[in-house]
Structure 1
């Protein structure tokens, strides 16, 4: 079963003539691949879900259908959470910038984006409360210029830990999208 949200748009990596190569600019795309930490965590979640779903079948067959149903719901929640973890990240299109989190998705039109730039700052390590010095792709909104800028991507996140070249490439792609669509 193909999982299109796992693959990055290859045209970002191979284009030499244009900063924004795309076939359909209205299509939401993630300009980078999910990192090994994100894919590994989701794979472990799906592995655990397979055991939980198997246990649900065994529990239902041995007599307690209501308990089997409860375990089935827990297994399906694990599957949904793992797939949502794979979908998390920054997505771009002609309409704007979309930040997909575990529980919610926020879309910001390009007209409300003041700037997108790479900055040195303390960043959260793998999304945990511990902070380390790193780089972040910061978003500054026009309607909230006094607020601290939001970090879209960081060098110590699930996608880019130990992959500084991948971070630079993804940051450049998002910055190019922002520059192109804020102008137009």
Structure 2
């Protein structure tokens, strides 16, 4: 069964670089992530799903013991943990012909290409795996036409690219190519 939120949904050119643009017969409304989620993000989601299975098992045991209220509470907690795991896998940057979408754990920011002034890679302190500790690294920044820049889109130290610097470079190049192609001043 294909899981579209786990695949990069992009073609590779003969030299191995990502083809950032959709094929001509592709739906322009389709949002795609130009890179695959990293092992840290997928591993954290897997641990959350494992935890949810234990909570569901405890809900079953509590229900069989005769406490339906406790079973319902456990089932609700398990559903929330499953939703958190799925949202964690969807976190990242998504693009389409309409614009750029930054999906965070609790919120999503969507910018049309006309509101994007520049997309560039910069050297700056970045958060290591999203923790408060910062280290020097590369980050992909989006500057808006009006207003403050978006929060850092990608960094080479986040859950998708830690230990995969070549993948970060390909993803940054693909996002910069999308911005160049679809930016209409």
TM bucket normalised to smaller: over 0.9
In structure 1, how many angstroms separate the alpha carbons of the residues matched to 2:84 and 2:124?
Answer: 30
Superposed CA RMSD in Å reads 1.8
Count matched residues. 181
**What's 1:14 paired with?**
13
Q: Which runs of 5 or more structure 2 residues have no equivalent in the other structure?
A: none
**What's 1:123 paired with?**
126
**What's 1:166 paired with?**
167
**What's 1:4 paired with?**
4
Does the Cα contact within 8 Å between 2:53 and 2:78 map onto a contact in 1? yes
**Secondary structure of the corresponding residue to residue 139 of structure 1:** strand
Q: Which runs of 5 or more structure 1 residues have no equivalent in the other structure?
A: none
Q: In the TM superposition, what whole-angstrom CA distance separates every residue of 1:15-64 from its partner, at most 9, and x where no partner exists?
A: 66995331323210000000000000000000110011011011011100
Alignment of structure 1 residues 1-184 onto 2, 5 Å: 1-11=1-11, 13-14=12-13, 19-23=19-23, 24=26, 25-144=28-147, 147=148, 150-183=151-184
1:81/1:15 CA distance change after superposition, 3 Å:
farther
Runs (4 or more) in structure 1 with deviation over 4 Å come to: 15-19
In structure 1, how many angstroms separate the alpha carbons of the residues matched to 2:131 and 2:72?
Answer: 33
TM-score, with structure 2 as normaliser: 0.92
In structure 2, how many angstroms separate the alpha carbons of the residues matched to 1:118 and 1:149?
Answer: 13
- Structure with the largest fraction of helix: 1
In structure 2, how many angstroms separate the alpha carbons of the residues matched to 1:149 and 1:108?
Answer: 10
